[in-house]
Amino acid sequence: MQWNRASVVSASLVLLTAPVAGQQAASPGVAAFLAGDYETAARLLTPVAERSATPDPVAQFFLATLYDSGSGVPRNPLRACGLYMAASTVASPIATQAGEIAAVLKAPFFGARGPMATCASANTTPWGESQPAFITLGLGHWLRVDANGIVVGFNGSERRRTNAVFGGPGLRFLPIRYTRLDVDSSRTGQRHFVEWFIWHQLTPDVAGWSLGWVLDEIVGDEMFNVAGERALTTIEAAMPPTSIDVSRLVQLRVNAAGDAEWVMSDPANPRGGVIPARTPQ
Amino acid sequence: MKRVGAALSTLFAVAITGARPSAQTASDGVAAFLRADYGRAAALLIPAAEDVWQPDHTAEFFLGMMYDNGLGVPADPIRACSLYVRAAGPGLISQAATTAPLTAAAMSLVRARQRSLGPEFETCNWRAGVGYDDAFEPTTFTLGPGHWVTWDLRGATIMYAGVEKRAGAPLKSWMTTAHAVFQPLRYTPLDSGPSRSTRRHFVQIAMWVPGRDRDTWMLRWMLCEIVRDAVVGVTTQELATAMGRRPPSAAADIDQLVRVGVNDSGDAEWVVANATPPRSGTIESPANRAERRNADCGNAATRTAM
């Protein structure tokens, strides 16, 4: 079953009735924000808003406005929405308006994309996205993953992947795996594959974490989705392991016929598939 | 109109303490708001948000939140909505791809208010333009038996021959001048004609409007005639200028600045006092004006404005 990176989170909102949070933690970031230095503001607000056991709603609110407008950070309405929603759950002078804005931002997602997109509380599911990477595929041919997304460079031009979601609420990305296969039968000779391994809690009947997998092929300046699995493996734990040997779970190789294929060595359900050759447009 | 009076006195209090509206006072105001010092936040944010010449959108946004939640100011959801509309102004006008962070947030709040306020959103939106410090007092003038006019900030309602008629949109658009501060309306009946037997009904509207330069104001004056069930614009003139953050609080003596009367020939006329070059005009009779019977204050004002 193919599994896309953007997937369902049932945003079960836990309404906290905590006292007004101490807004002192947000102050340096807010000061940078008010001075118009949005990059510094994002850098200072992020740990207080997203990486704290007691996130500051004011920091969440200001960080949300940055993601909503793409100021100092890449525009990300989904992340903005989650931050606004989180900010609305703790008593503060901005809580009511944060909730209203979250509702407005949420509407088009649910309308246009259905449950594919979600506005999850940043309290319960911190945002996760792919780690920055630069992979050289060949001469003048590369893949770059940065805070703005995924870019393929080919013959001096760059092409940004707008269809690939490389982050989401509650996701934990492992490093990208790049595999080059020398394929005899293909006109291209060399084929370039990248795999994304993502811990998530989106499998309905699994209480712990599932390791999602997405296989993409890069042909010229294009990137195609080849295959995906919601759960290569699962683990019952509060937090996913920090490292795992993914080569034990799935391999890419050239088969006897000279075709590229992926193979999943799950003893209970071994499976795989030939990857048809693509030619660039 | 009590609300306007309260807002005015707040503004004057701030002006007296000498707070200069600026981005820094807006930032200080936001900081005070976030540490729940709402009294200080209001004192800093109000002058920055209500600065006629250079309103601070950050101050507008957070002052909106204070009115929304009744923090440091009386809860007033409509006024909060107006402040969001103003804070969202740059985004609403340009639909720019790159939007300042609080502009985007304000736009979302405006969308939320469009849904939650229903018909009252129109009031919010209109007030965002005209402001809350207009000092306008709705006034009713009795012109004769069964003939009266009630003036409000959105136009006038005329009772004539047993029928009530609303002089609406064009008049409203003329009255809707951003940050205008009105003087009391004046009703001037004139007995004109060779035998002074024709009663004509004039209403004088005077308002301070912001000048182009900071801290300058102009006293704009408009003369309207009520002809049966219609409001007809006669002229618009600028009568005076003033300096200050706010226009003079004392009532302008309109009679010293412009005279509306009947000349020796029995014609109604207006004369601006001490004007160089002289400014005056004879007010044509309703019969001569018949072809423009349906003209409204707004259109006439445009034609005759200096």
Q: Taking an 8 Å Cβ-Cβ cutoff, which residues of chain B contact chain A?
A: 26-27, 30-31, 33-36, 58, 65, 68-69, 71, 98-105, 108-109, 111-112
pTM score of the predicted model? 0.69
Q: Please, what is the average pLDDT of chain B?
A: 84
Looking at mean pLDDT, say which of A156-165, B2-11, B134-143 comes out highest. B134-143
pLDDT digits (tens, 9 = 90+) for B71-124: 999 999 999 999 999 998 766 655 554 578 999 899 889 989 988 998 899 899
Q: What is the pLDDT of residue B292?
A: 54
Mutate to test the interface with B, among A58, A66, A68, A73 (most CBs of B within 10 A): A68
Contact status of A69 with chain B (Cβ, < 8 Å):
yes
Contact A101 B108 (CB under 8 A): yes
Q: What is the pLDDT of residue A185?
A: 57
Looking at mean pLDDT, say which of B37-41, B48-52, B127-131 comes out highest. B37-41
Q: Which residue of A has its CA nearest to B37?
A: A93
CA distances from A195 to A101, A175, B144 (A): 36, 9, 87
Q: What is the pLDDT along chain A (281 residues), one digit of tens a residue?
A: 344 433 323 222 223 333 344 446 778 999 999 999 999 999 999 999 987 788 899 999 999 999 989 899 988 878 888 899 889 988 899 999 999 998 888 765 433 333 334 565 555 566 677 778 899 998 899 999 876 678 899 998 988 775 555 666 677 888 899 999 988 755 557 899 999 998 887 766 767 888 989 899 999 988 888 888 888 888 888 888 878 899 889 999 998 888 899 998 877 888 899 998 876 55
Q: What is the pLDDT of residue A136?
A: 92
Rounded to whole angstroms, the Cα distance separating A67 from A57 reads: 15
Average pLDDT over residues B26-45: 95
Q: Quick one: which of B173, B174, B139, B145 has its CA closest to B159?
A: B145
DSSP string, chain A: ----SS-----------PPPP-GGGGHHHHHHHHTT-HHHHHHHHHHHHHS-SS--HHHHHHHHHHHHHTSSS---HHHHHHHHHHHTTS-STTHHHHHHHHHHHHHHIIIIIGGGS----TTTS-EEEPPPEEEEEETTEEEEEETTEEEEEETTEEEEESS---EEET-EEPPPEEEEEE-SSSSSSEEEEEEEEEEES--TT-SSEEEEEEEEEEETTEEEEEEEES-S-EE-SSS--S---GGGTEEEEE-TTS-EEEEE--TTS-EEEE-------
> Using the 8-state DSSP alphabet, how is residue B290 labeled?
G
Contact status of A35 with chain B (Cβ, < 8 Å):
yes
Rounded to whole angstroms, the Cα distance separating A58 from A90 reads: 10
Structural element, H or E, at residue B174? helix B169-175
Burial class of residue A140 in the structure, from the number of CB atoms within 10 Å of its CB (0-12 exposed, 13-18 middle, 19+ buried): exposed
Confidence of residue B301 (pLDDT cuts 50, 70, 90): very low
Burial class of residue A32 in the structure, from the number of CB atoms within 10 Å of its CB (0-12 exposed, 13-18 middle, 19+ buried): buried
CA distances from B132 to B76, B119, B208, B214, B300 (A): 12, 19, 14, 19, 27
Instruction: Write the residue in B35, B101, B112 that is nearest to A100 by C-beta.
Output: B112
Contact B36 A38 (CB under 8 A): no
Q: Give the distance from residue A75's alpha carbon to the nearest chain B alpha carbon, in angstroms.
A: 10
Q: Quick one: which of B160, B123, B117 has its CA closest to B141?
A: B160
Average pLDDT over residues B12-38: 72
Contact status of A31 with chain B (Cβ, < 8 Å):
yes
Instruction: Write the residue in B27, B109, B111 that is nearest to A34 by C-beta.
Output: B27
CA A247 to chain centre: 21
Q: Please, what is the average pLDDT of chain A?
A: 79
Confidence of residue B31 (pLDDT cuts 50, 70, 90): very high
Contact B101 A69 (CB under 8 A): yes
Contact B109 A31 (CB under 8 A): no
Contact status of A39 with chain B (Cβ, < 8 Å):
no
CA distances from B6 to B174, B184, B228 (A): 25, 18, 37
Rounded to whole angstroms, the Cα distance separating B252 from B304 reads: 23
Instruction: Write the residue in B26, B36, B58 that is nearest to A93 by C-beta.
Output: B36
Contact B104 A69 (CB under 8 A): yes
Contact B105 A35 (CB under 8 A): no
CA distances from A61 to A29, A102, B21 (A): 11, 10, 25
Instruction: Write the residue in A33, A97, A105 that is nearest to B65 by C-beta.
Output: A97
Contact B112 A103 (CB under 8 A): yes
Question: Which chain B positions have a beta carbon within 8 Å of A71's beta carbon?
Answer: 100-101
CA distances from B125 to A103, B78, B128, B131, B179 (A): 21, 9, 5, 10, 14
Contact status of A147 with chain B (Cβ, < 8 Å):
no
Q: What is the pLDDT of residue A180?
A: 92
Query: Are B143 and B132 spatial neighbours (Cβ–Cβ below 8 Å)?
Result: no
Q: What is the pLDDT of residue A2?
A: 42
Contact A93 B101 (CB under 8 A): no
Sheet architecture: strand order including B155-160: B139-144, B147-152, B155-160, B163-167
Q: Quick one: which of A252, A253, A255, A249 has its CA closest to A268?
A: A249
Other CB atoms within 10 A of residue B150 CB: 15
Query: Are B269 and B280 spatial neighbours (Cβ–Cβ below 8 Å)?
Result: yes
DSSP string, B45-60: HHHHHS-SSS--HHHH
Q: Give the distance from residue B134's alpha carbon to the nearest chain A alpha carbon, in angstroms.
A: 28
Query: Are A89 and A16 spatial neighbours (Cβ–Cβ below 8 Å)?
Result: yes
Q: Which of B17-26, B106-115, B132-141, B261-270 has the lowest mean pLDDT?
A: B17-26
Contact B112 A31 (CB under 8 A): no
Assign B120 to helix, strand or coil. helix
Instruction: Write the residue in B26, B100, B109 that is nearest to A69 by C-beta.
Output: B100
Question: Considering just the CA atoms, what is the radius of gyration of chain B in Å?
Answer: 22
> Using the 8-state DSSP alphabet, how is residue B183 labeled?
P
Mutate to test the interface with B, among A96, A104, A106 (most CBs of B within 10 A): A104
Taking CB atoms and an 8 Å cut-off, how many pairs form between chains A and B?
A: 69
Joined together, the tokens standing for residue A195 give 């795999």
Question: Which chain A positions have a beta carbon within 8 Å of B105's beta carbon?
Answer: 64-65, 68-69, 97, 101
Question: Which chain B positions have a beta carbon within 8 Å of A69's beta carbon?
Answer: 98-101, 103-105
Q: Which residue of A has its CA nearest to B57?
A: A34
Instruction: Write the residue in B30, B101, B112 that is nearest to A104 by C-beta.
Output: B112
